[in-house]
Amino acid sequence: MPRITPNLWFDTQGEEAAKFYVSVFPNSKITNVSHYGEAGPRPAGTVLTVEFVLDGQPYLALNGGPEFTFNEAVSLSIDCADQEEVDHYWTKLSEGGEEGPCGWLKDKFGLSWQVVPEDLVKLLADPDAGRAQRAMKAMLGMKKIVVAELHKAADQA
């Protein structure tokens, strides 16, 4: 089966972004950097692509120019075991970026992320529809997801 590799289009910050991302996630590394040659369209020697791995998932950063930018139509979701993981990734990735609603943020490069605690997924799938709806309502009022507040809201009858 072919491997699927997300390609992220940057103007010129692909290498900077890859270095940042591998510093945030465990078991991550840059595996290859290629450069534009004399054929262009960018100056020879500037970074063309950066191949990197984030905790086992390969990615490619392309310095393709300013024609395309990120938007919320595509985001990367981080499944977090607990509040400590949520806090870690939220703090690191939102630094220099912007916090959004419901556990979404944009990093300093404009890439959208969803920082999702596993308890949120469990609560939203709770067989008790009232608990699930109360958790949903609480989540809709949050930026960073706070697990204790989700549980408190879900358990209020």
Q: What is the pLDDT of residues 24-71, one digit of tens each?
A: 999 999 999 999 999 989 999 999 999 999 999 999 999 999 999 999
114: tokens are: 């969803």
DSSP string, 134-153: HHHHHHHT-SS--HHHHHHH
Domain coverage including residue 84:
70-157
Q: Which of 18, 52, 68 is the last residue of a domain?
A: 68
pTM above 0.75, yes or no: yes
SS3 134: helix
Q: Which of 42, 68, 94 is the last residue of a domain?
A: 68
Q: Which residue in the block uniquely carries the two structure tokens 């490069």?
A: 109
Does the pLDDT value for residue 155 go beyond 80?
Answer: yes
pLDDT in tens, 109-138: 999 999 999 999 999 999 999 999 999 999
Q: Which of 16, 48, 68 is the last residue of a domain?
A: 68
Judgement on whether residues 53 and 87 belong to the same structural domain of the protein: no
